[in-house]
Amino acid sequence: MSARRLRLGFLASGNGSSAEAIVDAIGAGELDAEARLLVSNKKDCAAFAWAAEKGVPFLCIPTVADPGGADARLAEALADAGVELIVLSGYLRRLGPQTLGRFAGRILNIHPGPLPRFGGEGMYGARVHQAVISAGVPESAIVVHGVDEIYDHGPELARRSVPVLPGDTAASLEARVKALEPGFFVETLRRVASGELRV
């Protein structure tokens, strides 16, 4: 497996904190990659502010009125930007068949709990952490995985364990996991770029 420069596209609905950390790592010379495009389904996406500051092209493609048309526009915009690998960073929409088909095997997401047990439709944010605590398991995990047409179903690429501490609440566990997610995504992409991990 040889090293290669990653050409990244990002999808975000909010702050896109993992995407911003990845762009910062590129700027610092810590990740051999290019940030080609950031796309959101929301016109007021908070990630657009840092994208403008850091020189990352960005675009809004609303999905509510015409999901099929939005899917086609998204796939075309990412392809036109030369994106080879898509990073989901808090993108709260299911991807459509055109984007999934055009970028099959080249879309990554990060999940804040152990998969497959604590994944699936409706399992996001505080719901994941509450489910982990309610299950009484000794540790949670952050998982970077491939994306397909089923929520949290694609192949696992990398995992980092996060211990569940005595007295943890969903909020305290969520805060600890969120603090680790951006750096772990950067680390995983670095391993992809170096050829250590294959997407």
Write out the two tokens for 72. 């086609």
Residue 145: active-site member = no
* Axis crossing angle, helix 17-27 with helix 47-54, rounded to the nearest 10: 10
User: For residue 185, how many other CB atoms are within 10 A of its CB?
Assistant: 25
Tell me which residue has tokens 């996406």: 45
The one catalytic residue among 111, 129, 145, 153: 111
- Cα R_g (the chain), whole angstroms: 16
Contact 48, 38 (CB under 8 A): yes
CA distance to 6, 19, 109, 139, 165, per residue, from 186 (Å): 12, 9, 12, 22, 25
Residues annotated as catalytic are: 111
